[in-house]
Amino acid sequence: MQPLERLGFPIVELPRELRDHEAVIRFLIAELVRLKRLDAMDAERAADCVLLRESQGSTNLLSGAALPHSKFSPLDQAVGIVGYAPQRIPWSGRDATPVEAVVLLLTSAEYHSTSFRKLQATVRALGEIYPPPNLQVA
């Protein structure tokens, strides 16, 4: 079993026409609704929460993957989805490093320790596939 499969998130292919982080985030939220993992009435607000978090600092892991995430109060457990791009997509950030995998994660605003553990597990799984680049310290 692949590391991201262990998380239990659905895995989808990202359409080629998605060319920026906002379009990818909105697509993945729509997929969560389609898969009945998120209520349709919450979709717009969920997307706005993730985009707000992204505007505060890019979730690009600089290794070919991004982890857009946010706390979302209507949830009592974490909800996530993995999107793979057939061609890398420029992601937000200082250098817009392109990514091929995007794991969107919505966590409960109420259950902090459970949410943190799910975020940790997601980062760990991504790190197995997309190890962080070696950073040179000056």
In a domain, 138, yes or no: no
* Residue 60 to residue 21: CA distance in whole angstroms: 10
* Residue pLDDT tens, the chain, 138 long: 677 788 889 999 999 999 899 999 999 999 999 999 999 999 999 999 999 999 998 888 878 899 999 999 888 888 999 999 999 998 977 667 899 999 999 998 887 777 788 888 888 888 888 877 655 444
User: Is 136 inside a domain boundary?
Assistant: no
Specify the pLDDT at position 133: 67
pTM given for the model: 0.88
| Structural domain includes residue 96 | yes
pLDDT of residue 103: 95
The torsion defined by the Cα of 71, 75, 78 and 79, in degrees rounded to 10, comes to -100
Domain harbouring 92, CATH code: 3.40.930.10
What does the pLDDT read at residue 109?
A: 80
Q: Is residue 134 assigned to a domain?
A: no
Q: Is position 25 within any domain? A: yes
Counted domains in the chain: 1
Question: Going by C-beta distance under 8 Å and a sequence separation of 6 or more, which residues neighbour residue 83?
Answer: 11, 12, 13, 14, 24, 27, 28, 31, 101, 102, 103, 104
Q: Which domain holds residue 39?
A: 5-129
